[in-house]
Structure 1
Amino acid sequence: MRILCISDTSVDDSRPCKGLAKAAAEGAISITMSSAEGVVETLRRSRYDLAVIQQASPDTRLLRHIRNSRQPTPILIIARQTTPATIADVLSIGADDCVPATVDPIELLARLRAIIRRVSGHDSLTLHIGRLTVNVDRREAHVDDRLLPLTPREYDLVELLALRKSQALSKEAVLDSLYAGQEEPHGKVIDVMVCNIRKKMRALGIATPFTTLWGIGYRLNEDAFAPVGSKMVGADRSMSRVAKETCIPIMPGGINIMPAAGSSEGL
């Protein structure tokens, strides 16, 4: 989960608030700090899952500026002082949530994840994609009613691709999401992980769970999880895709959807 944290200089210089910092330590969150100046351009250049605005009290000016720029990035506001009226104001203008700075890190992390699920088109803790079910709360994935025997990291990857089912994610994007705030392994670990998950899903009747976009990354193949009866039409096309699926690592130098050159990174 990549978060752009926009700090109000009147709050706490350029550091994430205590609750957000603890949430980052307890969950897979990568935080990039930013001042309010130039934040729209930062959001345009780099792809973030969510923006967090830290303020002394909810102020609509920065929120209006971001929303008027047509940036669709979801926004959560953390404020030291809140009232029902100020919370109602920012929510009506376009904030996805507003919480006090005293919010418990566990609750904050849950709220961040809930916003991302909603933005991705999922309205519950259980993601349903045809025959694939991903239970975010229990960290389990099933094909039909059969449990996929995934390692913790493999589950993280399946959940990530399920949440981003319409997007192709580069290896750099996957590494940043799975190992946020930790030392990242070599990019080939993602290729190996994808290969292992493919084998486990094929054992449960899913022939091509992921689409490989050479030089770009991976995307969940929604067609592969369609109910068995609906797969009869276009079977030849599916078989053609099976022949192209391999476990060959994606070569570097392709398009990277994550931060564009010139964006600042920091924890």
Structure 2
Amino acid sequence: MTMSGPEGVVETLRRSQYDIAVIQQVAPDMKLLRHIRNSRIPTPIMIIARDITPAGVAGVLSIGADDCVPASVDPIELLARLRAIIRRASGHDSLTLHIGRLTVSVDRREAQIDGKPVPLTRREYEIVELLALRKGQALSKEAVLDNLYAGQSEPHGKVIDVMICQIRKKMRNMGIEEPFTTLWGIGYRLNEDAFIPLGARTKDFDQTVRQTARESSIPVTAGIAMAPSGTMDIL
């Protein structure tokens, strides 16, 4: 995307859900980068410049760039660097993402439930990886489309709904009832609670039962009103 001036860059980054901003320049622009960081924009930034020196790289890194590479960088290396920055920004420090029973192997492009591969298509895997990297965040269908089809002709947004539905079916067959939370009018979010190990759920339930039992055994003193014990809301 092409933007006009520092204010245009900041406004676009503030309004949009980008995993990373890649700024291509002839030489690293310290003023632009400083303006972005002074505006408290947390989006990771990679600088790609034609004319760079060790001092220039050190300068942009000290101001707040996450990486700075020459324009001649090999595409395979560039993609690996971009993925690494996004992983670190999302709180993951390895090529394997662990979320309860879900494991996403970024290097092998494979998702597993309890160690068993989920039979996903390439695009379905990319959705799972994207939502796993951005766990805790809701992504709009437009944001998912941008990530899956960046630089290509994008299909209609309904294709994301179809793929989400297919992933749900495949994960339900492996014991995950609701892998995604649908936020109507907003988008989708990974449902981390769905991947809690079964043993951990049983332990939490037992603790709740024991706590309720202890509370229900407290003697009632005259003149003190107590709410009925054992009440449970199921959402």
User: Are residue 184 (structure 1) and residue 154 (structure 2) matched?
Assistant: yes
Q: Against the structure 1 CA distance between its residues 65 and 138, is the aligned structure 2 distance closer, same or farther, given a 3 Å change threshold? A: same
What is the rounded CA distance, in whole Å, between the counterparts of 1:127 and 1:46 in structure 2? Answer: 25
Find the aligned partners of 2:158 and 2:47 in 1 and give their Cα distance.
37
Q: Which residue of 2 aligns with 1:56?
A: 26
Partner of 1:75: 45
Structure index of larger Rg: 2
CA distance in 2, matches of 1:100, 1:35: 23
Q: Distance in 2 between matches of 1:193 and 1:111?
A: 28
Q: 1:46 aligns with which of 6, 13, 16?
A: 16
Separation (CA, whole Å) in 2 of partners of 1:180 and 1:205: 33
In the alignment, does 2:21 pair up with 1:36?
A: no
The 3-state SS of whatever aligns with 1:33 is coil
Aligned to 2:58: 88
- Between 1:45-54 and 1:123-132, the stretch displaced more is 45-54
Who is 2:178 aligned against? 208
The SS at the match of 2:146 is: helix
**Structure 2, gaps ≥5 residues long:** 209-232
Aligned-residue offset at 1:115 = 1.0
Q: What residue identity is the alignment partner of 1:34?
A: M
Higher relative contact order (CA 8 A, sep 6+): 1
Compute the displacement of 1:207 (Å): 1.4
TM-score, normalization: structure 2? 0.81
Report if the CA contact (8 A) 2:6-2:32 is conserved: no
Residue deviations 1:168-216 (CA, integer Å, cap 9, x gap): 1122222222222223223222222112111111111111111111222
After TM superposition, the runs of 4+ consecutive aligned structure 1 residues lying more than 6 A away are none
Read off the aligned partner of 1:72 and give its amino acid letter.
Answer: P
Give the C-alpha shift of residue 111 in structure 1: 1.0
- Which of 98, 105, 116 aligns to 1:146? It is 116
The structure carrying a bigger helix percent of its residues is: 2
Q: Percent identity?
A: 75
Distance, in Å, in 2 between the alignment partners of 1:79 and 1:179 is 25
State the shift of 1:55 in Å.
2.5
Assess if the C-alpha contact under 8 Å between 2:17 and 2:143 holds in 1. Answer: no
Distance 1:240 1:126, change over 3 A: same
The one-letter code matched in structure 2 to 1:114 is A
Give the corresponding residue for 1:118. 88
SS at match of 1:52: strand
Amino acid at match of 1:223: D
Size of the aligned set, in residue pairs, is: 208
Q: What is the alpha-carbon distance in structure 1 between the residues aligned to residue 16 and residue 38 of structure 2?
A: 18
What are the superposed Cα offsets for residues 123-178 of structure 1, whole Å, 9 maximum, x if unpaired? 12111111111111111100111010111111111111111111111222222222
**What CA distance in whole angstroms lies between the structure 1 residues aligned with 2:234 and 2:179?**
14
Aligned-residue CA RMSD (Å)? 2.1
Aligned equivalent of 2:101: 131
Q: CA deviation at 1:112?
A: 1.3
Report the Cα distance in structure 2 between the residues aligned to 1:180 and 1:63, rounded to whole angstroms.
24
User: Can you give the 5+ residue segments of structure 1 that lack an aligned partner in the other structure?
Assistant: 1-31, 242-267
Could you tell which deviates more after superposition, 179-188 or 90-99? Answer: 179-188
Find the counterpart in structure 2 of residue 219 from structure 1.
Answer: 189
